[in-house]
Structure 1
Amino acid sequence: MIRSGLLGRAILASSSPRLHEEEARALGLDLTYELFDFTQRGLADADLAGVVDSLKRQGFAGFNVTYPFKQAIMPLMDELAPSAQAAGAVNTVAIRDGRLIGHNTDMPGFRDSLLAGLPGAALGHVIQLGAGGAGSAVANALLSLGVARLELVDPDAARAGALATDLAARYPSARVLVTPLADLDTAPADGIVNATPIGMAAKPGTPIPADAIAAHHWLADIIYFPLETELLRVARSKGCRAINGIGMVVGQAALALGIITGHTPNAERMKRSLA
């Protein structure tokens, strides 16, 4: 049996167990996917190292990582794959001979979902809400696609500043800015990306006021539960082209399942399964 799972907070409603287990069965694999919800289990963030060590001792083949641990888990890795180094975050861990190898499948997952879901989207000026672990992967994906001006908005100014510095060094031809939410002017932007947890079932609401969204914007929300966040509802009511996080979650999940099991999943089949 292959043991895998997901570490995070407020994840009990996650579709990942069904997504991974159904695709594993289709591949002829006996795989279990367990949720390690730190909130539900009464665990502190400081317990992360202990939980990871426990999974290693129990013989897990690997696991996924979500909010709020994608960056906190990096120092626990024995090795970082190039994808994790580039994104500055880990969302997939493979355990090989007792060694923890951190990967990031969020970056290609988001990049591919944006290309497929919003073909031809203007990339001159993009506003990104959120500069955490998922935000780091999303920002790298946006800049790799050729975004010329990326504006980061995050309540943690130090975190946003550190990400901006890293991105500026990696993509010298682009301009990366940090803007406080109170100073944000969305009017000149082509697109808006929500890479915060605001809008999730456990964190309802919108990360920016509804009147900050206009018809000329395209909008991408990386949240997939619920399928339509309040932010997406507002954007679509104004005529914006918009996508939810389904494409990203399926893309990253297919890549993660392949990393953990060594088998090649069928992403289209996984998308149909999730739908």
Structure 2
Amino acid sequence: MIHQTKVHPGNSRFLLGLVGAGIQASRTPPMHEREGDEQGLRLMYQSIDLEHLAIGPEALPELLTAAERMGFAGLNVTHPCKQAIIPYLDELSPDAAALGAVNTVVLSNGRRIGHNTDWWGFSESFKRGLPGAGLSSVVQLGAGGAGAAVAHALMTLGVRELILADQDRSRAQDVAAALNDRFERFGVHRVRISNDLKADMVKADGLVHCTPTGMDKYPGLPLPVDLLRQELWVAEIVYFPLETALLREARRIGCRTLDGGGMAVFQAVEAFRLFTGVKPDHERMLRHFIQLGSGAKEAAT
């Protein structure tokens, strides 16, 4: 059974961290620190950049032990560690267990508890940013750790048919099978693998992009621009930069669009609550995120 995070009334100091590769420009640390200040907490948030340290996910056991010994209250986890970290945790929340991906680790009472706030972050952003969007058929590009969370969110939002496309076909098949099992009460085989992306895009209401393409380190488009059309809505999870090449082309064509900023903020909102036991002000965090500007280099953590 998952333990709920409980914060002693006198606990107002929190040491937190973000573990991932290429995260030096992430907005996650300043978002948490500013909200901590607003809540009257002494909150310090450190970036633990695997790329900068010249190490890989194999160092996760050592990093977790070091974080515990230094008194960290928790860690956010991003690419390439969302799935790799799971074997080193003591417990998973129901969402993290179902998704097979963790983006938030609470370190409490000698235990490591993994959560996934990505799916809720995307869902909240979508409801606010694309109200009334058609959900009969949606194509999703990417089925990695973040993609699995987004696919779960799309199903909870009511997508009737979700079509997954990923360079690693077996990974997409695993996500599709898990989703079909999880959401069978709404009808079987609602999630399938794309065998003809062009044909699937012709009948789709919307497109969700969940790969790193479009980030500063991976510039370009994730699919041919001629597959976009004005009637399509397009959602992105990359938020550095906020306007990716995909969103720029979609807006030029006249599509309704959703950038990755909302998901970044709302996943942080829930992570902040898990770390501190304090409910943050999501509108204030969203304003701060916008103020931080563009130019960093990672997708939503």
TM-score range, shorter chain: over 0.9
> What's the TM-score once normalised by structure 2's chain length?
0.88
Cα pair 1:155 1:180 within 8 Å, conserved: no
Residue 215 (structure 1) aligns with: 230
Q: 2:239 and 2:54 mapped to 1: Cα distance?
A: 25
Residue 258 (structure 2) aligns with: 243
Q: 1:168 and 1:153 mapped to 2: Cα distance?
A: 16
> What's the TM-score once normalised by structure 1's chain length?
0.96
Q: How many residues align?
A: 275
Q: 1:36 and 1:188 mapped to 2: Cα distance?
A: 43
* 2:18 maps to 1:6: yes
Aligned pair partner of 1:155 in 167, 181, 202: 167
Q: Give 5+ residue unaligned stretches, structure 1.
A: none
Cα pair 2:198 2:227 within 8 Å, conserved: no
Cα pair 1:77 1:100 within 8 Å, conserved: yes
- In the alignment, residue 41 of structure 1 is paired with which amino acid? L
Residue identity over aligned pairs, in percent, reads 48
What is the root-mean-square deviation of aligned Cα atoms in Å? 1.4
Residue 261 (structure 1) aligns with: 276
Cα pair 1:87 1:107 within 8 Å, conserved: no
Residue 106 (structure 2) aligns with: 94
Deviation per residue, 1:96-117 (Å, 9 max, x gap):
1110001111111101111110
Cα pair 2:228 2:250 within 8 Å, conserved: yes
Residue 109 (structure 1) aligns with: 121
Secondary structure at the residue paired with 1:201? coil
| Shift in Å, 1:180 | 5.3
Q: 1:123 and 1:62 mapped to 2: Cα distance?
A: 36
| Shift in Å, 1:35 | 0.8
Q: 1:187 and 1:82 mapped to 2: Cα distance?
A: 36
Secondary structure at the residue paired with 2:76? strand
Q: 1:199 and 1:109 mapped to 2: Cα distance?
A: 20
Deviation per residue, 1:190-213 (Å, 9 max, x gap):
100011111112221121111111
- In the alignment, residue 222 of structure 1 is paired with which amino acid? I
Residue 55 (structure 1) aligns with: 67
Q: 1:194 and 1:46 mapped to 2: Cα distance?
A: 28
Q: Give 5+ residue unaligned stretches, structure 2.
A: 1-12, 291-301
Cα pair 1:154 1:180 within 8 Å, conserved: no
| Shift in Å, 1:217 | 0.6
Cα pair 2:243 2:259 within 8 Å, conserved: yes
Residue 35 (structure 1) aligns with: 47
